[in-house]
Amino acid sequence: MRDGALSTDELKVGEVVTRRDLHARFGGTPQGGISPSTRAQMVMAFVTEQPAPDDFTGWGEDGIFHFSGAGIHGDQEMTRGNLALLRHREQGRAVHLFHQLGRRAGEADRLYRHLGRFEVDSEQPYYIADAPDTNGNMRTVIVFRLQPVGATVPDGPRLPVTPLTETRIIKAPEITAARARRQPQESTNDILHRLTADYASHLHGLGREAVSAQVRVKGETRIARVDLLDATENRLVEVRHNSTRQSVRSAIGALMDYRRFFHPTPTLVLLVPAAPREDLLDLCASLCIEVVWPNPEGGFTSTHD
């Protein structure tokens, strides 16, 4: 520690402080979620009172505090505060985490509770996630994995879903829904539900097991849901509510994404309410994707028949 620097020993776990007083004591910048200080050889990380669901900030079920990096516009980059947090060990800085408390009547400055000292996880320091910026545009964000060091206060936000350290496929119970009756006016969800139920019933009639599945990708907080899996024939089915080019292209992207997680490699199937036009059928055929749609006379038509 440099001569004249304040000791972080003065900072107590659970202590409630204003940010103004904190920077007066230990230095650092008064703006932003990450504030490095060479004066006290520390990096201060600040958590808002209630982070948005897409902020990826909070305690995970793994006992690690996940902390979304700095940068509110565009893709976050490993520069400035983010880089200081990543390299805190080699720079000899301690990481201290502060959680913003609810504002009380008459308070001029917001209060923060010191949650304790942390360090970036040595095995997986951070992961990359997708989240909207302040303008609502999707971008990539850096999410740091902070391990508690010594005593900490277990307050603060909690992640609704904790990222896994390995990819898992979770199969749901077999779909047993009866064939759904078509309604005069159907919403998008109604069409998807009816198509899925009808095709699952069709597969059952062929003696096949039809299930849904979740793909939990390593380091991701969002759960990818597979619409239908013909477990007997190893066919991965993506369902769309119409046969437009946009729907077909989005389904192709989803199928290509999910396929790499299944072993052995499954056959890819697109289920739509009506036959797509010829060009879109050619597109699917070029990618070896089977296209299935209901037959007005009963059953289903498939490009692989």
Determine the pLDDT at residue 207.
95
Write the Ramachandran bin of 219: left for phi over 0, alpha for psi from -120 to 50, otherwise beta. Answer: left
Question: Residue-wise pLDDT tens for the chain (305 aa)?
Answer: 333 334 555 789 999 999 999 999 999 988 899 999 988 999 999 999 988 877 889 999 999 999 999 998 899 999 999 999 999 999 999 999 999 998 776 677 889 999 999 999 999 999 998 888 888 889 999 999 999 999 999 889 999 888 887 788 887 766 655 555 666 678 999 999 999 999 999 999 999 999 989 888 887 777 888 999 999 999 999 999 999 999 999 999 999 999 999 999 999 999 999 999 999 999 999 999 999 999 988 899 999 98
Residue type, 67: F
Tell me how far apart the alpha carbons of residues 139 and 242 are, in angstroms, rounded to a whole number: 28
Which candidate, 5, 123, 111, places its Cα nearest to that of 48? Answer: 111
Judge if the upstream peptide bond of residue 53 is cis by omega within 30 degrees of 0: no
Burial, 289: exposed, middle or buried (Cβ in 10 Å; 0-12, 13-18, 19+)? buried
- Domains of the chain are 8-152 (2.30.280.10), 168-302 (3.40.1350.10)
Write down the pTM of the prediction.
0.71
Who contacts 85 (Cβ-Cβ below 8 Å, separation ≥6)?
34, 36, 43, 45, 67, 69, 95, 120, 144
Task: Encode pLDDT of 131-171 as tens digits.
Answer: 888 888 899 999 999 999 999 998 899 998 888 877 888 87
Which candidate, 18, 234, 13, places its Cα nearest to that of 110? Answer: 18
